[in-house]
Structure 1
Amino acid sequence: MAEMRAARAYRGSDVLHLEKVPVPEVGEHDVLVRVAAAGLAPSTMKLLAAGMFRHLPTVPGHEAAGTVERVGSAVDPSLVGRRVRVHPMLSCLDCDYCTSDRQQMCAEAAMIGQGAFGTGKLELYARYHDGGLADFVRAPHWLIDEIPDNVSFDLAAKVHDLGNAMRALKCAGALTGATVVITAATGTMGTASIVLAEHFGIDRLILVGRSAERLEAARGLVPHLRADTIALEDLGSDWETAGGLTARIRELVPGGPEAVLDYLPAGPGGEQALRSMANGGVFVHMGGNSAPLAVPMRETMLGCWRYVGTRGCTRDDTDAVLRLLASGEVRGEQLITHRFALDDVNDALTALAGRREPMWMGVIRP
C-alpha cells in the first residue's frame, strides 16, 4: 500500500506529529488531490483542544490546493491533472440552509481537515475528516474547484479565508460610499477584507490593530483607497476601560462609520468599535470573541444598529472570490507572506499563533 507524509493530531497533544500513513483510497465519488499548498489556520490547535475534531488521530488542514491525482469511477476522468482547490465545507446539500447560501448552518456542517460544527449524524465528516497537511487529500468531487491559471497554488489554498472576508462584507449590506472600520486589520481576515474593499465600493477604511508599523504595511494593500489607521498601542494604557477606541474613531469620523467588521478574538475593542457607529450602522463579528457585550438594548434601539454574527463562508462566496481573482479585479498574491515545509509545521503554527513578526497569510508546501 502506497504511503504519504501527514501531520496528524492526537487527543491530548499540543503539537502535530509528522508520520507516514496510507494514501487515502479513492471511492466512487472521490477525488484525490496531490497537495501543492495547504493553508495555515490559527484555529487548528484551539479546535483540537476544544474537542471539535471528532475523529482522532486526524490530519488537520481545511485549506488545500494542488493537482488531481486520481478520481473515482463516477467522476469525470478529464479532471485528472487539473489545478484545483478543495472547498472544505461538508453539508447535506438539501436542507433549507444548504439551498439558500447558508451551508455553514446545516445540521451536517463540518469541515474537511477541521472541526465538526453540526448536530446531525455527520456521516460525510466521518469519511472526509482528514485534511490537507499531507502529501495527498481526499474529497468528494462536488467540493473540487478548478483554479484560474493566474492564481498560484499558495493563493488558491487561502481562497477560503478570502471567502470568509467576502461573507463578512456581504453581511454588512450596501457599502457603496461607506466608511468601514476593520479591527484586527493586520491579521489574515483583516488583510483579506482590505483587498476586497474596493470591489464593494467602500470609500474609506479605518484600520485598527496593535502596531502602527504593521498597520502602515496593511494600508499599502489599497494604495488608491483612503485608509486611516488606529494603533491600539498608541491609545494610552487605559483605553480598554476609558473607551479610547470609540473616542479615536469618532475623532476620525465624527458622524461614525457605516459598518464595522470585527475580527478581534478577545478584549473590549469590538464593543468600543460598535459604539462608534453612525445611526443605522452594521456590526459584523467573525472573531470568536468570548467577551460579553455590555451595550444596553436601548442604545442599540436608538442607534438603529444591526449586529450580525457569521462563522464562515459558503460556496457562493468562494466562487465570487475565484471570479474576481481570475478577472484581475482583485489581486491577492501579496497576502502570502510566509511559506513553510511540512517538516516545519509545528514551528509554522507557533509563528502563526504568536505573530511576533508580521504575518498575513501562511501556507505549508508539502
Structure 2
Amino acid sequence: MVKTMIAARLHALHQPMSLDEIPVPAPRPNDVLVQVRACGIVPNMANVINNWPTWFPHQPLPKFPAVFGLDPAGVVAEVGEAVTNVKIGDRVYVSPLRSCGSCKACRSGNRSQCRYYTLNGYFSTSRDGQRIFDLYPYGGFSQYMTAPEYSLVCLPDNLSFEQAGRFGYLGTSYGALKNAQAGPGQVCLIDGITGTLGVAATKLALAMGLSKILGTGRNKELMDRIKAIAPDRIDTIMLGEGSTGEWAKAQTGGEGVDFVISALGARAPAATVVDSMRGVRRGGRVVVVGGVAEDVPVDVKWLMDEQVQLIGSNWFSAAQGQEMADMVRTGALDLSYLEHKIYPLERVNEAISGIGERDGGFSNYVVIPPVPAAYQ
C-alpha cells in the first residue's frame, strides 16, 4: 500500500489550489479508504472557495489547507475492522453528507436534519461543522479519501465513475422529487429546467413515470434540447414570455400541476418563484431545491386556502442514491445525455474556472486524480 498521495489543497481564499504530497489516511473502524477515480465539479465551487464566507458566514468552510471535492467515485482500497457490508474492490460513489450519527435526527434516518450536517469537501450547514471536517478532512480532489460506510452507494458496472461524479446534483433533484411525492401519471413544473438540477430532475421524473413535465428556462437552444429528450412528455416556456403559473394552469385544463420543483439559482428573482407557485393545483406541493437567495413573499392565506405545501429540500440520503444506481442498472435511468469535460487533477483550477462555460445541465465537469503506481 502506498504511503503518500497527491491532493489538490486550498491554502487561502482567492488563491489557486496547489498539488501537495500528503500522507494517505488510515480508515477508522467504521470507515473505508476509497481510491478516487473521478470527482464531479459542482458549478458553485468557484463561489464556495472565493465568496462563501462573506455570503454565508453561518455555513463555514473547513480550515485551511483544505481538500475540496464534493462528488467522488472510486474503488474501495481498504476497510475498517467494523465495516460489514463493503469489501475491497467495490465500486462506489461517496456521498459527502456527514452527520454526528447519534442525535434524534440521525437515529431516525434523517441525517440532513442533524445539527452537525456537513457536506464533506464543500461546506458545513452548522457553525459547529469543523468537528465533522476534523473527522473527515479529505474531499474528492485527492487520490485517496476516507469515508464512513453509511455514505457509500454501490455502483453497477454500467455506471461509469464519470457519470457517478454527477450523483450529487442527480441525488439533490431525486430528493426533491421524493419530497414532492412524485409518481406515475403526474404532471409537474420544473422552474429552471435547463440547469444542472433541472435537467437531472427531468431525466429522473421521466424514469419515475410522470406523464407530463413542464419547464421554464432562458436559453432557447437548451430548451429545445431538453424537449427533444421526450417530445411527447415535455413542454417548455421561455421565462418572460408570460405568467408561468397561468401557463401551467392552461396546460392542465385549469387544474394545475401536481407539484413544482423550484430549481432556480441563487440570483433568480423572487417574483419568478411566486409566479410558478401559482401554477400548482389545490393540495399540491412546491419544493424549493435551487436556493433563490432573495426573500420570497408568500401569501400564507393562499397556502392555507389551497392546502399547498411549501417544502425546502436539501441533498439526499445514501439510500436514495442507491435507488438511483439501481435505476441505472436496470436501464430505467439513462445518463448518456451527460457530456463529460474531463480534466486531470493537476488542471483542477482550470476546470473550476471553466465550468461557467458549460451547456447548462448537459455538461459534466470531472476531475480525474492520477492512479497510484500500486494500481497501474
TM-score for the superposition, normalised by structure 1: 0.88
For the residue of structure 2 that corresponds to 1:129, the secondary structure is coil
- Tell me what 2:32 maps to: 31
**Quick one: structure 1 residues 361 and 271, their matched pair in 2 at CA, closer, same or farther if it must change by over 3 Å?**
farther
Residues 20 and 77 of structure 1: CA distance in aligned 2, closer, same or farther (over 3 Å) = farther
1:248–1:332 Cα change, 3 Å:
same
Q: Which residue of 1 aligns with 2:135?
A: 127
Match of 1:229 among 229, 233, 236: 236
The alignment partner of 2:280 has SS state of coil
Q: Where in structure 2 are the equivalents of 1:94-133 lying within 5 Å?
A: 94-118=102-126, 120=128, 123-133=131-141
In 1, Cα distance between equivalents of 2:360 and 2:292: 23
Deviation readout 1:56-76 (Å, 9 max, x if unpaired): 121111210112233344446
Q: 2:346 is matched with which residue?
A: 343
2:261 aligned partner, one-letter code: L
Determine the structure 1 residue equivalent to 2:286. Answer: 283
2:258 maps to 258
Following TM superposition, by how much is the alpha carbon of 1:77 offset from its aligned partner in structure 2, in angstroms? 11
Unaligned ranges ≥5, structure 2:
54-59, 370-376
Counterpart Cα distance in 1 of 2:214 and 2:86: 47
The verdict on how the C-alpha distance between 1:284 and 1:363 changes in structure 2, with shifts beyond 3 A counting, is same
Counterpart contact for 2:83–2:149, Cα < 8 Å: yes
Identity of aligned residues (%): 27
Residues 311-350 of structure 1 aligned to structure 2 (within 5 Å)? 311-350=314-353
SS of aligned partner of 1:339: strand
1:39/1:62 contact within 8 Å kept: yes
Shift, 1:142, TM fit: 3.4
Q: Which amino acid aligns with 2:347?
A: D
| 1:172-211 → structure 2 map (5 Å cutoff) | 172-211=180-219
Letter in 2 for 1:311: N
Change (3 A) 1:19 1:147: same
Q: Give the number of aligned pairs.
A: 356
* Partner in structure 2 of residue 307 of structure 1: 310
- 1:79 correspondence with 2:58: no
- CA distance in 1 between counterparts of 2:112 and 2:213 reads 28
Q: Could you tell me how far 1:211 is from its partner in structure 2?
A: 1.0
Task: Provide TM-score, normalisation by structure 2.
Answer: 0.86
In 2 relative to 1, CA 77–213 (structure 1 residues): closer, same or farther, beyond 3 Å? closer
User: 1:346 & 1:116 partners in 2: Cα distance?
Assistant: 22
Q: Residue type of the partner of 2:327?
A: L
The separation in 2 between residues aligned to 1:180 and 1:77, in whole angstroms, is 37
Contact 2:340–2:365 (CA<8 Å) still a contact in 1? Answer: yes
Structure 1: 4+ residue segments shifted above 6 A: none
SS in 1 for 2:89: coil
